[in-house]
Amino acid sequence: MNIFRPLLAVLILFIPLYPKFPLLNFSNTYVALRLDDIVIALIFAIWLLLQIKSRFPILKEKFTWFFLAYFLAISSTTLVAIFIYQTEPVNILLLHLIRRFEYVSLFFITLRAINSKKDLLYFYFFLLLSVTGIAVYGYGQKYLQFPVISTMNEEFSKGQLLQMNVWTRISSTFAGHYDLAAYLSLVLIVLLGVMLIYKNIFIRLLSFILFMVSFHLLTLTASRISFFAFWGGSVLALILIRKYLWVIPVSVLVISGMLQSVDLNKRLLATLPFFKPKPTPTIIIVPTNTPAPLPTISIKPTPTPIPLPTVKPIPTIIRHGPIDELIPIDIDAGVARSGEIRFNVEWPRAITAFRKNPVWGTGLGSISLATDNDYLRLLGESGLLGLFTFLFPVFYLIFRSFRLIKTKRPNSTVRLELVFVGVVFSTLTNAIFIDIFEASKVAYAFWIIFGIYHQLSKFNQKSQ
């Protein structure tokens, strides 16, 4: 019996659906220990004990050595930060290091859980259940006032229950709308690929329904980068599996989604300033021969102040959204502020850290909790060593999949591997403007997906 088969199924359901309630807070940061950390640690402990008992068969996998190189790189980066630069308290540097190990550990758990092609469909049904739960809770937030559990700032990360209003973008069970959008941009490509590859009517119909529902949820998040990441990844996947005509309906769906979503439409237009009409200046002509009238000053009596009754405030249990979501803010100002934070603060800060130490960087977590560009974050925190060792296994697997493009009669497993190339491409696109590999729920999902992708490639190698 493969014990990791049901354990991975639990993770596929539990990780996206369980809100990010904190269990234990750490000093010097508002990142907290949560239940998902404990569940993953227990499963990894079981995996490690079985590896010790079997004398580490995982070392026979080529990818194990790739990730060992990455672990060595970020560990040396942490040591340099602790003993030389001292950029952050030791507990923060070690916390970020452990979290990187935790994320990638799901890749190895996935390898142990999937032993045959039949396992793929088993886990796909759990993914469908997970997406269904995300959709139900997301629509519940939008229309039934289901609470929001956010980690967008220190106050919200304490596990407070917030309520949406008309200006809030949905986040479902995720910590923010960007996390939900990034997750959906990956899952949508998987749903699309399975819908077009498998011939089972029930699977195709169920995949189509959840695809349309998930796409609508993606438009409700109004995340521009995830929207285009899904579009680019899906088009790439369709081309690789030779479903060229499907590029047209998918592109029509994406464009119609842009036009129908008022929030997304406004944000896209605010992103492209040359689409905005320039205001026409108003010219007022004053005759030169007519003197301008002098203003008259009238003195009004000061009104007598009327005392107001004292109102005792009523305490509330469920808090509403942040103040900038209670007030309808200017979309142009919000988009401009988002760009200015990236271009003028976060990205220059990461570049400065990289220049300080191009080889090792200044330590994991040393350039604050957000950079909004994972490549610059990798460079700033772990230098060229960390960036190269992190991206090498990803691009290695992509290039290995390119050998399948010339397959004359690809079977469903071959085409599914090519679909996952589009999924990884979507992830890499999201990473340009989102710290996707550090957003825990999305990072967990990515490494599970990457593990499935690896096993698909392995099965295809054996069959060839």
403-459 per-position pLDDT tens digit: 998 888 899 999 999 999 999 999 999 999 999 999 899 999 999 999 999 999 999
Domain-located, residue 302: no
Tokens representing residue 265 in the block: 């439409």
Give the model's pLDDT for residue 315: 42
pLDDT band (50, 70, 90) for residue 297: very low
Q: How confident is the model at residue 305 (pLDDT cuts 50, 70, 90)?
A: low
Question: In this model, does residue 185 exceed pLDDT 60?
Answer: yes
Q: Which two tokens stand for residue 423?
A: 């999924």
Share of the chain above pLDDT 70, in %: 81
Q: How far apart are CA 367 and CA 93, in angstroms?
A: 11
From the CB of residue 267, how many other CB atoms can be counted at a distance below 10 Å?
Answer: 21
Q: What is the pLDDT of residue 271?
A: 61
Lowest mean pLDDT among 152-161, 166-175, 315-324, 364-373: 315-324
| Alpha carbon distances (Å) from 320 to 147, 341, 347 | 9, 25, 32
Least confident of 43-57, 236-250, 281-295, 341-355: 281-295
Of residues 169 and 413, more confidence is placed in 413
What does the pLDDT average to over 333-343? 68
User: pLDDT-derived band of residue 301, with 50, 70 and 90 as boundaries?
Assistant: low
Reported as a pLDDT band with limits 50, 70 and 90, residue 217 is very high
Q: Do the domain assignments include residue 314?
A: no
Range of the domain at 224: 4-273+319-463
CA 30/CA 32 separation, integer angstroms: 6
Q: Judge whether 443 lies within some domain.
A: yes
The model's confidence at residue 293, banded by pLDDT at 50, 70 and 90, is low
- pLDDT averaged over every residue in the chain: 85
The per-residue pLDDT for range 50-78, each reduced to its tens digit, is 999 999 999 999 999 999 999 999 999 99
pLDDT band at residue 176 under the 50/70/90 scheme: confident
Please report the pLDDT score of residue 334 as a whole number.
53
Q: Identify the pLDDT of residue 277.
A: 45
Domain assignment present for 284: no
**Residue 283: pLDDT above 80?**
no
User: 286 in a domain, yes or no?
Assistant: no
| pLDDT for position 272 | 60
Confidence bin at 31 (pLDDT 50/70/90)? confident
Confirm whether 298 is domain-assigned: no
Can you give the pLDDT at residue 167? 52
Total tally of structural domains belonging to the chain = 1
pTM for this structure? 0.85
**323: confidence class by pLDDT, cuts 50, 70, 90:** very low
In a domain, 268, yes or no: yes
111 is a domain residue: yes
